[in-house]
């Protein structure tokens, strides 16, 4: 289930798939955003109005794929890194997927990288065909060519030269309860925003875990993470995952924060009992 694993189900993904005719026609956006969160840059950024306007900022984005040109602008502005551009129009057994990629160093055009699926497993090789690092959008977009049958599975890349570093950090993370060395520390990574509502970075969360705040509720009370409009629907699972990683536990062992109704923001007219002014 998405809320427990962070991975959408096959059924959820199949519902996004365009018709075979649209898939063959050219690039299109796969908007893999399944939770009602207060977020809408995709719909306001699309120059073709393909991502439909939202009446309520909590709506799940809806896309009109006949209007979508696959330009990728939405993928570059989505803070959830939830949009991918797929091109299955080539008839040579390959397809491309464009992935928002917020890591350094960036790969280079022509480089062979690991193709990684939604679960984080390497499932093959991919060839980088385009690196778009625009100052305007800030999130670089990496286009990779993969075998056509993998294009709906590949959702991340990792650089082959960094494989040994990743393996070292994951084995180290199993050893100690709270280790300062477990974090793959880079300045860039520490500045990742974990709680958008309260503007809290991964550095803040990691510092609190090192200080001994090792439950999601403790971190919520000391930092206000999860007290904003999204009510922990975005940051809660991320904080739980970081606690698990730094304390050598499984994510399933980490208690989510306490929730009280209403569990999502509601329009004031709901409490007024109707839609009359």
Token pair for 40:
């809408």
Task: Using the structure block, give the residue that is written with the tokens 């990779």.
Answer: 144
For 25, the 3-state DSSP assignment is helix
If binding is defined by CB under 6 A, does position 18 make contact with ligand SF4?
Answer: no
CB atoms within 10 A of CB 57: 13
Nearest residue (CB) to ligand SF4, 22 versus 210: 22
Q: How far is CA 250 from CA 140, 205, 241, 255, 259, in A?
A: 31, 18, 8, 11, 21
Q: How far is the CB of 122 from ligand SF4 (least distance, A)?
A: 25
Q: Return d(Cα 94, Cα 58) in angstroms, integer.
A: 36
Q: How far is the CB of 276 from ligand SF4 (least distance, A)?
A: 30
User: How many residues in the shown chain lie near ligand SF4 by CB under 6 A?
Assistant: 26
If binding is defined by CB under 6 A, does position 142 make contact with ligand SF4?
Answer: no
Nearest residue (CB) to ligand SF4, 143 versus 182: 143
Nearest residue (CB) to ligand SF4, 209 versus 225: 225
Q: How far is the CB of 229 from ligand SF4 (least distance, A)?
A: 13
What's the helix, strand, coil split of the chain in %, to 5?
30, 20, 50
If binding is defined by CB under 6 A, does position 29 make contact with ligand SF4?
Answer: yes
Q: How far is the CB of 97 from ligand SF4 (least distance, A)?
A: 13
Nearest residue (CB) to ligand SF4, 18 versus 226: 18
Nearest residue (CB) to ligand SF4, 42 versus 225: 42
Q: What is 164-226 written as a DSSP string?
A: HHHHHHHHHTTT-SS-TTSS---HHHHT-EEETTTTEEHHHHHHHHHHT--SHHHHHHHH-TT
Q: Is the bond into 33 cis (omega within 30 degrees of 0)?
A: no
**Local structure of residue 162 (DSSP, 8 states):** G
Residues 30-89 that bind ligand SF4 (CB under 6 A): 31, 33, 39-42, 46, 48, 50-51, 61, 63, 68-74, 78-80, 82-83, 85
Binding interface with ligand SF4 (CB under 6 A): 29, 31, 33, 39-42, 46, 48, 50-51, 61, 63, 68-74, 78-80, 82-83, 85
């Amino acid at each position: 289930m998405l809320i427990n694993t962070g991975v959408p189900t096959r059924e959820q993904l199949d519902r996004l798939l365009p018709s075979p005719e649209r898939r063959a026609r050219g690039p299109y956006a796969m908007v893999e955003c399944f939770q009602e969160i207060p977020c809408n840059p995709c719909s306001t950024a699309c120059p073709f109005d393909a991502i439909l306007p939202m009446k309520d900022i909590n709506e799940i984005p809806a896309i009109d794929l006949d209007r979508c040109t696959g330009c990728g602008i939405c993928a570059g502005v989505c803070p959830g890194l939830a949009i991918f551009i797929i091109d299955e129009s080539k008839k040579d057994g390959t397809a491309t997927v464009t992935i928002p990629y917020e890591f350094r160093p960036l790969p280079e055009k022509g480089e062979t990288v690991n193709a990684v699926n939604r679960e984080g497993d390497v499932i093959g090789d991919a060839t980088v065909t385009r690196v778009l690092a625009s100052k305007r959008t800030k999130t670089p977009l990496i286009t990779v060519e993969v075998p056509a049958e993998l294009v709906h599975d590949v959702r991340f890349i990792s650089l082959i030269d960094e494989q040994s570093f990743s393996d070292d950090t994951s084995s180290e993370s199993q050893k100690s309860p709270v280790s300062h060395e477990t974090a793959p520390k880079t300045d860039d990574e520490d500045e990742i925003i974990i709680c958008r509502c309260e503007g809290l970075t991964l550095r803040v969360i990691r510092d609190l875990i090192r200080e001994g705040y090792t439950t999601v509720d403790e971190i919520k009370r000391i930092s206000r993470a999860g007290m904003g409009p999204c009510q922990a629907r975005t940051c809660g699972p991320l904080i739980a995952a970081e606690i698990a990683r730094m304390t050598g536990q499984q994510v399933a062992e980490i208690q989510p924060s306490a929730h009280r109704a209403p569990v999502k923001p509601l329009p004031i007219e709901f409490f007024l009992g109707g839609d009359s002014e």
